[in-house]
Amino acid sequence: MVRVYKVFAITSFVVFFILYFLLVLVPFHSKPRLSHTDQVCLDKENCGISHTGDIVLEGILKISSDKNSNSLNPGRVPKLTSKDFQFSVNTLRVDGIPENIEEVDYSNLTLNFTRLNGWPSAFPHDLESYRQNVLKTTYFNKNTQWVQEIAPYTWHHRGKAEDYYINHTDSREKAAILVLVRNKELNQILHSMRQLEDRFNRKNRYPYIFLNDKPFSNKFMEFVARATDSNTTFSIIPKEHWSVPSDINMKKVKSNFKVLDRLDIPYAKSMSYRHMCRFNSGFFYKHPLLHSLKYYWRLEPDIDFYCDLKYDPFTFMRKNGKLYSFVVSLLELEMTIPTLWEHTLSFANATNLSSTLFSMFAKQTKPYPGKFKGIDSSRYNLCHFWSNFEIASLDFYRSPEYQQYFDYLDSTGNFFYERWGDAPIHSLAVGLFLNYNQLHFFNDIGYRHDTFARWPEPKVSIHNSCVVPKSIKENFDKADGSCLKHYLSYREYNWDRSDSVNGLLRLRRDRW
């Protein structure tokens, strides 16, 4: 018995030591300083830190008091070194994140966060009951209700770059950098902001808007506001825009989760991912903070920009009548959208739609650049613009056509029953409602999200100051999975109702 214990104790010790060495010592000894391209993981889901049972390796950001003070040079991400990070083996919990809305305590904010001009600014102590009351009250105007609902959780930080405009004309467009993000993605979003500030926004000073389905933590807001000289505004999403509609059959939703899970589809069983996709499809442009804006630039955590952008892309969009733009175009996972094409054709038929761009998304039966006889209107070619980067017009989404398309799609319940992404929906809407000239490919933006990276060749260029890390081997533009060639060689075809009807009939016939 004693021997068994001994062996067990020694084995456990050795295993523990090896794990400790691999997970804790190695990363920090080989990377003593964090540069802006390094990433520190605070997020057990998204950084692939392995965990067993409910034990995860959790990073706790410990910022020494001098780094956390107001004297910190604003507009700079605090220079963090490995000493600022203390890692410990802990149970599943991420530091500083309010689990419930009731836990929010704003009394410890150190930066000068303010309420927004013209918004409610005094609230009862119990924010959650205040919110519930607002939700129960009938308002004549939805926007008023949303403002009342989210105001207690909305904070604004005036960036010091605004001083410049006191004595200079402000030629900025009505535009903002729009970020949907979670508290636990603090490091990843600081990474993205550092890149965007360096490559573009340090000169252009566009404000940031941060949205979340839960209130932002003090820590999140403090760090993020210090990472830019621009204005930053933090808010939550109105409940109505992040909820399961009452006619959704949750039993069916759950049983479909299992089907996708068996097929190994990412986020097969994630409800929050579905909320996110639905929000990005049909609600973000209704958020009260975007009310007076014309354009947005969508920014996601953990992306890279490789090149300087030496002009204002919002001005470019306005002057050239562009309404939607992209940098990466790729193929969607078919199993996440089994009926999206059919529903889109039904919509196109029902609204007697004609379009010169929609055939870009139909399956090709002959390769480009051939004659356009070769489209199969019954099938989606799965090409879409990757929506984690987008610069686009908000009025495009606010148009009655787009709203009607979204409402129709939403009425099918397939944001939940299937796993429709916002990217194919934005793209198909572009195809339905825009023409080729209103769409733009930002070739001069070098960009990475996940493992997909693309840039204007060469990898290092003086012309627009590109630097692509040596470790990135493949320019995705040239990969088989990229739809860029397809976009560049597109030939207009006048899609009309007969194409929608033929597509539908063939699709239904093929199914039997």
Ligand X SMILES: *[C@@H]1O[C@H](CO)[C@@H](O)[C@H](O)[C@H]1NC(C)=O
State the minimum distance, in angstroms, from the CB of residue 276 to ligand GTP: 4
State the minimum distance, in angstroms, from the CB of residue 156 to ligand X: 6
Q: Which residue is nearest to ligand GTP (CB)?
A: 272
User: Is 177 one of the binding residues for ligand GTP (CB under 6 A)?
Assistant: no
User: Is 431 one of the binding residues for ligand GTP (CB under 6 A)?
Assistant: no
Out of ligand X, ligand GTP, none, what residue 182 binds, judged by CB under 5 to 8 A for its kind, is ligand GTP
- CA 445 from chain centre, in angstroms, equals 17
Asked if residues 481 and 330 have their Cβ atoms less than 8 Å apart, the reply is yes
Only segment of 3-11, 50-58, 319-327, 496-504 that touches ligand X (CB under 6 A): 496-504
**Could you say which residues in the range 243-302 bind ligand GTP, by CB under 6 A?**
272-273, 276, 300-301
The closest of 390, 385, 408, 399 to 433, measured between CA atoms, is 399
**Could you say which residues in the range 298-327 bind ligand GTP, by CB under 6 A?**
300-301
User: Is 222 one of the binding residues for ligand GTP (CB under 6 A)?
Assistant: no
Q: Where are the beta strands (DSSP E) in 27-174?
A: 55-61, 85-91, 155-157
User: Is 137 one of the binding residues for ligand GTP (CB under 6 A)?
Assistant: no
Give yes or no: 99 in active site: no
Count the site residues for ligand X by CB under 6 A. 22
Q: Tell me the one-letter amino acid at 35.
A: S
Helix axes 400-411, 271-282, angle to 10 degrees: 150
- 3-state SS class at 227: coil
- Interface residue with ligand GTP among 44, 131, 156, 182 (CB under 6 A) is 182
Cα distances from 463 to residues 154, 307, 309, 460, 473, in angstroms, run 41, 9, 11, 9, 21
User: Is 166 one of the binding residues for ligand X (CB under 6 A)?
Assistant: yes
User: Is 233 one of the binding residues for ligand GTP (CB under 6 A)?
Assistant: no
User: Is 354 one of the binding residues for ligand X (CB under 6 A)?
Assistant: yes
- Interface residue with ligand GTP among 84, 162, 173, 213 (CB under 6 A) is 213
Q: How far apart are CA 392 and CA 313, in angstroms?
A: 10
Shorter beta-carbon distance to ligand GTP: residue 342 or 390: 390
Count the site residues for ligand GTP by CB under 6 A. 14
Task: Return the ∠ at Cα 176 (arms to 398 and 78), rounded to 5°.
Answer: 150
Selected catalytic residue, list 390, 401, 418, 457: 390
User: Is 218 one of the binding residues for ligand GTP (CB under 6 A)?
Assistant: no
Q: Tell me the one-letter amino acid at 20.
A: Y
User: Is 108 one of the binding residues for ligand X (CB under 6 A)?
Assistant: yes
The closest of 437, 441, 442, 405 to 424, measured between CA atoms, is 405
User: Is 505 one of the binding residues for ligand X (CB under 6 A)?
Assistant: yes
User: Is 192 one of the binding residues for ligand GTP (CB under 6 A)?
Assistant: no
Q: How far apart are CA 297 and CA 311, in angstroms?
A: 14
**Could you say which residues in the range 185-224 bind ligand X, by CB under 6 A?**
207
Only segment of 25-33, 350-358, 422-430, 437-445 that touches ligand X (CB under 6 A): 350-358
Shorter beta-carbon distance to ligand X: residue 212 or 231: 231
Beta pairing class for 390-393 and 232-236 = unpaired
Residue carrying the six token digits 């252009």 = 204
Out of ligand GTP, ligand X, none, what residue 401 binds, judged by CB under 5 to 8 A for its kind, is none
Containing H/E element for 152? none
Q: Where are the beta strands (DSSP E) in 164-309?
A: 175-180, 208-212, 232-236, 295-298, 303-305
Radius of gyration of the chain (CA): 25
Helix axes 186-196, 218-226, angle to 10 degrees: 20
User: Is 99 one of the binding residues for ligand X (CB under 6 A)?
Assistant: no
Task: Return the ∠ at Cα 299 (arms to 308 and 59), rounded to 5°.
Answer: 105
Shorter beta-carbon distance to ligand X: residue 383 or 432: 432
Catalytic center residues: 390
**Where on the chain is the footprint of ligand GTP (CB under 6 A)?**
180-182, 185, 212-213, 272-273, 276, 300-301, 388, 421, 450
**Where on the chain is the footprint of ligand X (CB under 6 A)?**
105, 107-108, 112, 114, 156, 158, 162-163, 166-167, 172, 207, 231, 349-350, 352, 354, 497, 501, 504-505
